[in-house]
């Protein structure tokens, strides 16, 4: 059903002719296909529905007016920024897509160490502005090309910086939030007109309602502006990059160093991580290059840090005995960056690393101590500007297994997961054979240290139907592993109960049927009431999990 | 290749947003972090390289057609290649720029072109120039008073090829004339193509008019070969790219030099000496077709192969054009060697330079977009505090000369050769 002329005109009056389109070509480019982008419900070659119009608002007021029109005419709407993930796309036929690209300001408050940002301020630009005044922003593992506001308001954003700076949700301060019913709610200190510095008040907090633990992926309306906490950056005001594209590198000075730490077994690995969780030594910590797989990571590191090498050289590089030696050295590894706020602080941190390695039998990988590679890794880890490497080998990837848990729990099962993936790699051709272990992610998913936040990178060819279908089969099989340990849905299926494989929303009836059987159904019934309060017309898709309360009552009566 | 041959690339693009920004490691500010003029001006994601990959899929699948909006979108690309550079920071099997131009060719084949493109192409066909309103008969007027060998009539090793803009634009002709005198003064024996001097048609290729490009290229190659030309020297970055990359793709093997490369060489050899100081702070704009698109063509004939189940490689190894080996240092060396001149760099330089807006024929077909793009660059240039914006391409110079920054301010725009001339 196309938008009536009356509705389209009303929307056009809000943003102006230049900033709205219902052209088929324009709307086609706002569809997502989960085989080409990580969607967390499994790769599929089905496009999400075609929006009826795409709208580019510039201000909170414009967003509010658009949302009011949507409520008046019961039109689904969803806002997104960089449009990487399928999560930001609409899920029904009678829907409009909001593209918040025109909202991208960044205002730094140096004294209070905060940044007030708009949706299209990607992490790279927030970081660049923050670094000018000696501050930094927590960039989630998804990389600096992602919207800081989106991962803070609407999804789980942890990454290398989490251990020092907290995950992005932990950095949420005041927010300006257009509720799905069209009201504007200003949260935290911003809500009482006292500035942006605090998320909890004075003024309404509503952090739980805005985003909860994992975020509601745009189902809770549109966050148009927010403040995020910034953190000390003892490095240069901008990156003194050198080197030939794509192998840029940078030297930040004596107080910023990158290491790849390696361990003889998972137990030693976990002990070291625990040490770091307890010692406040790390600035960044991430199991980064294992994304290329246990068998390939040293070779891939050589390739991506070279201006001359490319994937076609992979087999040659793999055959190099020195690369093989380094690969073996970094089998059980992770990358760290330490930052000395003072000379003594740096000395302490260097000593602490040596002590931790001594206690755990670990070592620093030699290859990453080479100056040129060190400076590449340091820049890579600090900016996280290489998200597209997720796709470099095959054109597509999806995270699987997850294992985002206490490190001691994770290491008990990780080799079993490795074996499952490795066997699939050897027995089938659907996914890249990278060596089983491709567990990549933060050494700490929460600020200060704690649970890991991992996913096994599973690389497949989005162009080849057989590869896409086979990858789905592999992922289906992994669920048995998760069921065995009661881990819940596999990482690659986290969204499988909120969007169908055909790209469409779940209906309330479908959600009722699902969640009534959940061990804690009343949680979903409570969320239904939350939704009713701010989104009575249920207009933002089905990523917010709800259960009609009357169904719960009926079920209890039936017992 | 035809559009359908880009299908694998279309489906392997992951919507990472890289095509909208300069390489992330190079971002120094919010204001100058973006790279694509097209999405910068039009704002819809449709106008990014990702959007174009997606349009390609939609058109091939029949979900969208070449309606007026889609046609305008397809041609509203300056073919500057900025998207290509950032994409290739992390990808080895995507060619966004090639695809953007192929999409244009797909539209052109179906006669879906913009009104502003028609007189440009008509004039190319009729008068052998891509500047509407200009005539073939006036093409070599710029060379009247110069002692140049006529390579239409006699043989010669080195051809000076000014290109359309320097040939016809009276304000710019002086730059070409200065360049010739400069080279001759340093002892270089130059010729020009005389009656065979025609448009290189490189911009026709950028616009997707492949047939027109091929016809003109074939004629030019024949003329160069007949004259025995071994080296082409041009002050125009578009011509430079056309000869170095597009003609080379057709099998034309000749040394191609931009004037700045030759002048840099002559300065280093002591054959050009400066006698005057020019107390001026300047900033340098890298023309796209001299910089990131100025890399040498390397023939390749291979195919994709998969290893380790699904890892895609090229067999044999394929040349990679990512801007790493463009011409960046020669113009900077010249500027740094001129007494009194201080070079203040903008944030977006070298392979991740912002486009002037004239590329892809957009100055003719989409003048508002083109002017906005130039204005963005002037804003960036003025932010350096420079007295002048210096470049090495007549299309850039012309487009900058007409534009103003976000506050309505202009900046003096100079060609590198003009500064050299002043300092002699």
Q: Closest approach of chain A CAs to the CA of B166, in angstroms?
A: 32
- B24, A124: Cβ pair inside 8 Å? yes
In chain A, whose CA is at the least distance from the CA of B315? A312
- A83, B63: Cβ pair inside 8 Å? no
A425 in reach of chain B (CB within 8 A): yes
Distance CA A268, CA B57 (A): 49
- A311, B65: Cβ pair inside 8 Å? no
A379 CB-near residues (< 8 Å, 6+ apart): A239, A241, A248, A249, A250, B25
* CA-CA-CA-CA torsion sign (B361, B363, B364, B365): positive
Give yes or no for residue A404 having a pLDDT over 90: no
Q: What is the mean pLDDT of residues B66-86?
A: 98
- A432, B23: Cβ pair inside 8 Å? no
Does residue A465 share a domain with residue A392? yes
Pairing of strands B280-284, B191-192: unpaired
- A385, B324: Cβ pair inside 8 Å? no
> What are B227-282's pLDDT values in tens digits?
999 999 999 999 999 999 999 999 999 999 999 999 999 999 999 999 999 999 99
Cα angle A532, A535, A536 (rounded to 5 degrees) comes to 55
Q: Which two tokens stand for residue B264?
A: 């840099």
What distance, in Å, lies between the first and last C-alpha atoms of chain B?
48
- Spatial CA neighbour of A267 closest among A418, A435, A402, A407: A407
Distance CA A78, CA A221 (A): 8
A246 in reach of chain B (CB within 8 A): yes
Task: Kindly report whether the peptide bond that precedes residue A527 is cis, defined as omega within 30 degrees of 0.
Answer: no
A459 in reach of chain B (CB within 8 A): yes
Give yes or no for residue A1 having a pLDDT over 70: no
Distance CA B53, CA B47 (A): 10
Distance CA A504, CA A508 (A): 13
User: What's A33's domain CATH number?
Assistant: 3.30.43.10
Instruction: Classify residue A499: in a domain, yes or no.
Output: no
Does residue A218 share a domain with residue A118? yes
A121 in reach of chain B (CB within 8 A): yes
Give the 3-state secondary structure of residue B119: helix
Contacts of B46 in chain A (CB under 8 A): 25-26, 29-30
Does residue A552 share a domain with residue A471? no
A462 CB-near residues (< 8 Å, 6+ apart): A33, A35, A36, A43, A394, A395, A396, A468, B11, B12, B14
User: Of A50, A82, A102, which residue constitutes the final position of a domain?
Assistant: A102
Does residue A266 share a domain with residue A205? no
Q: Which two tokens stand for residue B146?
A: 């110069």
User: Of A493, A525, A545, which residue constitutes the final position of a domain?
Assistant: A493
User: Of A185, A209, A232, which residue constitutes the final position of a domain?
Assistant: A232
Q: Closest approach of chain A CAs to the CA of B187, in angstroms?
A: 35
φ, ψ for residue A222 (rounded to 5)?
-130, 115
Unique residue bearing structure tokens 């479908």: A510
Distance CA A61, CA A63 (A): 5
- A383, B12: Cβ pair inside 8 Å? no
In chain A, whose CA is at the least distance from the CA of B50? A29
At A406 the pLDDT is: 86
A80 in reach of chain B (CB within 8 A): no
B358 within 8 A of B287, measured Cβ to Cβ: no
- A29, B51: Cβ pair inside 8 Å? yes
Maximum distance among all Cα pairs of chain B, rounded to whole angstroms: 66
Pairing of strands A106-109, A135-136: unpaired
φ, ψ for residue A415 (rounded to 5)?
-70, -25
Does residue A205 share a domain with residue A76? no
Contacts of A461 in chain B (CB under 8 A): 12, 306, 310, 312
Q: Which domain holds residue A166?
A: 106-232
Tell how far CA A414 is from the center of its chain.
21
Does residue A471 share a domain with residue A331? yes
CATH topology of domain B121-264: Rossmann fold (3.40.50)
How buried is A412 (Cβ within 10 angstroms: 0-12 exposed, 13-18 middle, 19+ buried)? middle
- A248, B25: Cβ pair inside 8 Å? yes
- A463, B7: Cβ pair inside 8 Å? yes
Does residue A353 share a domain with residue A213? no
A392 in reach of chain B (CB within 8 A): yes
Q: Which among B11, B27, B323 has CB closest to A36?
A: B11
For A192, A484, B374, the CA distances from B281, given in Å and listed in that order, are: 49, 69, 20
> What are A31-73's pLDDT values in tens digits?
999 988 888 999 999 999 999 999 999 999 999 999 999 999 9
CB within 8 Å of chain B, chain A residues 166-185: none
> What are A204-225's pLDDT values in tens digits?
888 888 888 888 888 999 999 9
In chain B, whose CA is at the least distance from the CA of A316? B317
Does residue A256 share a domain with residue A219? no
Reported ipTM exceeds the 0.85 cut? yes
Q: Which among B12, B90, B309 has CB closest to A386?
A: B90
At B121 the pLDDT is: 98
Q: What is the mean pLDDT of residues B27-41?
A: 98
- B90, A388: Cβ pair inside 8 Å? yes
B317 CB-near residues (< 8 Å, 6+ apart): A310, A312, A313, B302
Instruction: Classify residue A16: in a domain, yes or no.
Output: yes
Give the 3-state secondary structure of residue B371: helix
Helix then strand count (H, E) for chain B reads 19, 11
Does residue A54 share a domain with residue A179? no
Does residue A412 share a domain with residue A513? no
Per DSSP, the residues of A378-390 read HHHHHH---GGGG
> What are A446-455's pLDDT values in tens digits?
999 888 888 9
- B33, A241: Cβ pair inside 8 Å? no
> What are B350-374's pLDDT values in tens digits?
999 999 999 999 999 999 999 999 9
Pairing of strands A284-287, A439-442: antiparallel
Distance CA A274, CA B368 (A): 59
Does residue A220 share a domain with residue A89? no
Domain boundaries, chain B: 121-264
Picking from B70, B308, B323, B350 by the largest number of A CB atoms within 10 A of its own CB, the best residue to mutate is: B308
B213 within 8 A of B222, measured Cβ to Cβ: no
Contacts of A83 in chain B (CB under 8 A): 15, 17, 45, 50
Distance CA A86, CA B265 (A): 53
Does residue A220 share a domain with residue A148? yes
DSSP H or E run through B306: strand B303-307
> What are B298-343's pLDDT values in tens digits?
999 999 999 999 999 999 999 999 999 999 999 999 999 999 999 9
B117 within 8 A of B124, measured Cβ to Cβ: no
Q: A75-84, A116-125, A193-202, B230-239: lowest mean pLDDT where? A: A193-202
What distance, in Å, lies between the first and last C-alpha atoms of chain A?
43
- A239, B26: Cβ pair inside 8 Å? yes
Q: Report chain A's mean pLDDT, rounded to a whole number.
A: 95
Which ranges in A288-388 belong to alpha helices (H)? 297-304, 314-318, 321-329, 343-360, 371-383
Distance CA B211, CA B229 (A): 25
Instruction: Classify residue A502: in a domain, yes or no.
Output: no
Unique residue bearing structure tokens 């091929």: B214
Distance CA B120, CA B127 (A): 10
B422 CB-side CA count, 13 A? 17
> What are A151-177's pLDDT values in tens digits?
999 998 899 999 999 999 999 999 999
Q: Which two tokens stand for residue A45?
A: 């070659």
How buried is B5 (Cβ within 10 angstroms: 0-12 exposed, 13-18 middle, 19+ buried)? exposed
Picking from B7, B40, B44, B71 by the largest number of A CB atoms within 10 A of its own CB, the best residue to mutate is: B44
Could you count the other beta carbons within 10 Å of the beta carbon of residue B345? 12
Name the domain count of chain A: 4
- B14, A83: Cβ pair inside 8 Å? no
Distance CA B335, CA B339 (A): 9
């Amino acid at each position: 059903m196309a938008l009536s002329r009356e509705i389209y005109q009303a929307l056009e009056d809000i943003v102006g002719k230049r900033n709205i389109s219902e052209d088929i070509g324009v709307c086609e480019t706002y569809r997502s296909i989960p085989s080409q982008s990580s969607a967390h419900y499994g790769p599929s070659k089905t496009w999400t529905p075609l929006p009826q119009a795409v709208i580019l608002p510039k201000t909170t007021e414009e967003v509010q007016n658009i949302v009011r029109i949507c409520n008046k005419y019961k039109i689904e709407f969803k806002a997104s920024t960089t449009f990487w993930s399928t999560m930001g796309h609409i899920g029904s036929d009678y829907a409009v897509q909001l593209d918040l690209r025109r909202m991208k300001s960044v205002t730094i408050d140096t004294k209070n160490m905060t940044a007030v940002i708009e949706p299209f301020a990607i992490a790279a630009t927030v970081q660049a502005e923050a670094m000018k005044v000696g501050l930094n922003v927590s960039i989630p593992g998804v990389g600096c090309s992602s919207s800081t506001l989106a991962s803070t308001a609407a999804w789980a954003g942890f990454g290398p910086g989490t251990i020092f700076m907290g995950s992005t949700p932990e950095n949420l301060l005041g927010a300006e939030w257009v509720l799905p019913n069209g009201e504007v709610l200003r949260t935290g200190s911003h809500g009482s007109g006292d500035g942006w510095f605090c998320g909890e008040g004075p003024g309404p907090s509503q952090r739980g309602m805005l985003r909860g633990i994992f975020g509601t992926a745009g189902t809770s309306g549109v966050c148009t502006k927010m403040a995020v906490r910034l953190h000390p950056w003892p490095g240069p005001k901008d990156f003194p990059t050198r080197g030939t594209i794509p192998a840029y590198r940078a030297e930040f000075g004596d107080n910023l160093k990158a290491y790849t730490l390696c361990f003889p077994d998972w137990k030693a690995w976990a002990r070291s991580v625990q040490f770091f969780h307890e010692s406040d030594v790390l600035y960044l910590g991430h199991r980064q290059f294992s994304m290329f797989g246990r068998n390939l990571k040293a070779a891939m590191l050589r390739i991506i840090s070279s201006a001359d090498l490319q994937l076609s050289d992979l087999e040659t590089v793999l055959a190099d005995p020195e690369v093989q030696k380094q690969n073996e050295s970094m089998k059980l590894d992770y990358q760290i960056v330490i930052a000395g706020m003072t000379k003594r602080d740096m000395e302490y941190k260097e000593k602490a690393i040596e002590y931790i390695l001594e206690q755990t039998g670990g070592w620093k990988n030699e290859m990453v101590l080479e100056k040129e590679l060190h400076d590449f890794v340091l820049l890579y880890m600090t900016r996280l500007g290489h998200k597209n490497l997720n796709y470099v080998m095959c054109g597509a990837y999806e995270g699987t297994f997850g294992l985002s848990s206490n490190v001691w729990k994770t290491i008990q099962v990780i080799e079993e997961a490795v074996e499952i993936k490795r066997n699939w790699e050897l027995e089938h051709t659907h996914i890249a054979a990278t060596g089983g272990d491709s567990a990549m992610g933060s050494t700490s998913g929460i600020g200060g240290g704690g649970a890991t936040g991992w996913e096994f990178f599973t690389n497949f060819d989005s162009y080849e139907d057989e590869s896409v279908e086979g990858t789905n089969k592999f992922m289906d099989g992994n669920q048995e592993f998760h069921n065995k340990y009661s881990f819940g849905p596999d990482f690659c299926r986290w969204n499988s109960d909120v969007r169908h494989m055909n790209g469409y929303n779940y209906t309330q009836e479908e959600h009722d049927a699902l969640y009534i059987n959940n061990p804690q159904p009343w949680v979903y019934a409570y969320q239904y009431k939350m939704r009713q309060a701010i989104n009575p017309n249920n207009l933002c898709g089905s990523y917010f999990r709800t259960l009609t309360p009357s169904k719960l009552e009926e079920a209890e009566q039936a017992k | 290749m035809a559009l359908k041959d880009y299908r694998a690339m279309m489906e392997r693009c992951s919507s990472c947003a890289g095509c909208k920004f300069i390489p992330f490691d190079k971002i120094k500010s919010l204001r100058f972090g973006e790279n694509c003029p097209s999405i910068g001006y039009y704002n819809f994601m449709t106008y990014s390289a990702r959007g174009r990959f997606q349009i390609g899929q939609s058109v091939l699948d029949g979900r969208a057609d070449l309606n007026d909006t889609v046609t305008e979108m397809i041609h509203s690309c300056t073919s500057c290649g900025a998207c290509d550079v950032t994409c290739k920071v992390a990808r080895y099997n995507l060619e966004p720029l090639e695809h953007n131009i192929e999409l244009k060719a797909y539209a052109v084949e179906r006669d879906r072109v913009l009104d502003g493109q028609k007189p440009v192409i008509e004039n190319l066909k009729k008068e052998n120039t891509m500047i509407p309103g200009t005539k073939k008969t006036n093409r070599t007027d710029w060379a009247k008073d110069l002692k140049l060998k006529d390579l239409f009539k006699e043989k010669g090793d080195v051809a000076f090829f000014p290109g359309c803009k320097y040939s016809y634009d009276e304000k710019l002709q002086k730059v070409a004339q200065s360049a010739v005198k400069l080279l001759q003064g340093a002892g270089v024996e130059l010729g020009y193509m005389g009656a065979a001097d025609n448009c290189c048609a490189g911009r026709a290729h950028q616009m997707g008019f492949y047939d027109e490009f091929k016809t003109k290229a074939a004629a030019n190659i024949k003329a160069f070969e007949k004259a025995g030309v071994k080296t082409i020297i041009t002050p125009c970055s578009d011509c430079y790219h056309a000869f170095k990359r597009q003609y080379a793709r057709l099998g034309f093997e000749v040394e191609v030099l931009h004037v700045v490369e030759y002048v840099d060489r002559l300065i280093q050899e002591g054959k050009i000496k400066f006698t005057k100081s020019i107390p001026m702070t300047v900033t340098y704009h890298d023309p796209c077709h001299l910089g990131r698109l100025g890399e040498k063509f390397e023939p390749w004939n291979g195919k994709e192969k998969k290893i380790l189940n699904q890892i895609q490689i090229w067999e044999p190894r394929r040349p990679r054009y990512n801007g790493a080996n463009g011409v960046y240092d020669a113009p900077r060396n010249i500027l740094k060697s001129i007494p009194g001149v201080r070079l203040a760099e903008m944030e977006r330089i070298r392979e991740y330079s912002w486009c002037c807006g004239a590329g892809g024929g957009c100055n003719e077909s989409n003048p508002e977009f083109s002017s906005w793009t130039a204005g963005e660059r002037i804003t960036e240039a003025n932010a350096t505090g420079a007295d002048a914006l210096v470049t090495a391409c007549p299309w850039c110079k012309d487009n900058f000369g007409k534009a103003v920054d976000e506050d309505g301010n202009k900046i003096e725009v100079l060609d590198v050769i003009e500064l050299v001339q002043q300092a002699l």
